Chains A and B, each alone.
Chain A
Amino acid sequence: MAHFTKATSIKDWLNQRLAIDKVEKVMASEYWIPKNINFLWAMGMVLVITFVLLLVSGIFLLMYYQPNVDLAFDSVNYTIMREVDFGWLWRHVHGVAASVVFLIIYIHMFTGIYYGSYKKGREMIWLSGMLLFVAFSAEAFSGYMLPWGQMSYWAGMVITNLFSGGSLHADGLVEWIRGDYVPAQAFLDRFFMLHVVLVPLAIIGLIGLHFGALRIPHVNNQDGEEFDFDAESKKYLDGDKAGAKVIRFANDFMAKDMMVVGIYLVFFFYLVFFHYDFAMDPVNFDPADGLKTPTHIYPEWYFLWSYEILRPFSTNVGLIAFAFAQVIFVMLPFLDRSPNAVPASRRGLFKYWFWAMLIDMIILTSMGKVPPVEPFGSIGFYAALTFIGLWIILPFITKMEKKV
């Protein structure tokens, strides 16, 4: 048996058994963050906080929600909203957070793209982040099924139909996913399971991987500067805090991080209390009806860009374009052939590529929301072509880029 001495304090007792001092150093006080970063670097912590809000509000919703096609709608809209004290709070926190989390994810992603934070040893951060995006998408979709309103039902119908693969006509696969010919009890039950157990477990695991992937390459900085983290942290520990280019994760960096989180939470709870309706589609306040399609089916705003890439084409071409849009961001570290891991503003043509991509995604998002009539149909069509085109030219323009 290892040697233990009589503890001098509770801390010492814990230290002997759990090495809490060492854990604290590794996780916080000697985890080094560059100084030259801005508020965009706080989005990771904002996402953590939002995920916690989703988890806590979800636990309370779970206590009254009924995953049954006859009861689900009323358990949400009557029991939780009217009977349960503060039930409305959990629902609105959950709904608003589910929507806002994607806004922050997109900001987080585009920050990474702008500053080249997916290159030179940071590829695993990007890949694990994209896996998180997929897991969050699955979580959002499965959660959207649960109130069993009209939009739940029809979104479930349309999205599961995507798995028939167009002309492949894999109806067997679609029925297998649904457990029925149409979304019904088996469908609601399994998506409930996915939403409350399987996908959240995957998300928690992936968050661990995402953080782990950050340890060795460290956080990027806004100048694309390469640091010797060992030398800089030694400078800091030796007392030259002003000269060192790094600071401690906690409490130094966390102080600023939590400041941004604080501002974010003011905005967040403003939405929860006064504008929760933006995250609650009015159509979904009608109970699911398999014999009546809502006049206009559209996904939540965060899926609109990829939906718009599906929409203007014929079925098969649309599905291929959609599949392309779903996976192509994952490939970014390998499609960007330039060795420069610096901000886009210093990268020649990539600067224009970045802004073109951002604007194109915004156009796709807005066109996905409006009915498929002219001129919106054509705008959406060309925006979808632009999206695909931008990805095709990316390897060529980055290959030509001069080394900075």
Chain B
Amino acid sequence: MKENSRRGFMGKAFGAVAGIGAVGSLVAMKKTWDPLPSVKAAGFTTLDMTIYKENELVVEKWRGKPIFILKQSADMLDTEDKNMSKITGKTTAEMDKKRLIKVGDAHYLVCIGLCTHLGCIPGYTPEEKSFLCACHGGMYDDTGMVTKSPPPRGLDIPPFKIDGMKLVLGEEGPEYKKMKETGITL
């Protein structure tokens, strides 16, 4: 009997030590899978916004992700998109201003070029001024708003800071923070 209780105690003591070790090793395993500091620190991308042409999609790269730059032409800013208004109940001009970035006098759509559904890269048709994701048929308008499901939200806008005629991606400027607060982007 005495023997048994001693074994029981040893069993519990071992269990406690092993338990602490197991938790510790789980922490180590989790941290080992984390993105490396060198990956996290992967630089900032600075874009010269003067080089882009109206209604011509340019794809830049930031942290391995494609970034869409689409300079808006006057008619793109003015056109009343009936389809869009039906969904949001707001005029497109209202929505446009919120999602676009003003650098100098021009308006730009700057967004992460990955479909918010499952991350494919949508293609842009200049004639229709519309993005189409081939994977599951999702569509976006020229400001990156969803016009056809399944994407759950508009194309995400990367953290940016306006610096004269330049745009720095990866840094959070006041305009980006405002977009985030108002729920324009995640």
Contact = CB atoms under 8 A, between A and B. Distances in A.
A318 B151 CA distance: 11
B138 to A, nearest CB: 9
Interface residues of A, number: 37
Contact of B120 (A184, A297, A311): A297
A169 B59 CA distance: 24
B152 A316 contact: yes
A38 B30 CA distance: 48
A168 B158 CA distance: 19
Contacts of B151: 315
A8 interface: no
Interface string A161-180: 11000110100000111111
Interface residues of B, number: 29
A168 to B, nearest CB: 11
Interface string B23-67: 000000010011110010010000000000000000101011110
B137 A293 contact: no
Contact of A186 (B30, B39, B135): B39
Interface in A172-203: 175-182, 184, 186, 190
Nearest to A316: B152
B16 interface: no
Interface of A: 154, 157-158, 161-162, 166-167, 169, 175-182, 184, 186, 190, 290-297, 311, 313-316, 318, 371-373, 377
20 contacts: A157-B120, A158-B118, A161-B119, A162-B118, A176-B33, A176-B34, A179-B36, A179-B39, A181-B42, A181-B65, A186-B35, A290-B61, A291-B59, A293-B134, A311-B150, A315-B116, A315-B150, A315-B151, A316-B152, A373-B137
Interface of B: 30, 33-36, 39, 42, 59, 61, 63-66, 116-122, 134-137, 149-152, 186
Q: Which 8 A-B pairs have the closest CB atoms?
A: A293-B121, A182-B64, A372-B137, A161-B119, A315-B152, A293-B120, A158-B118, A181-B63
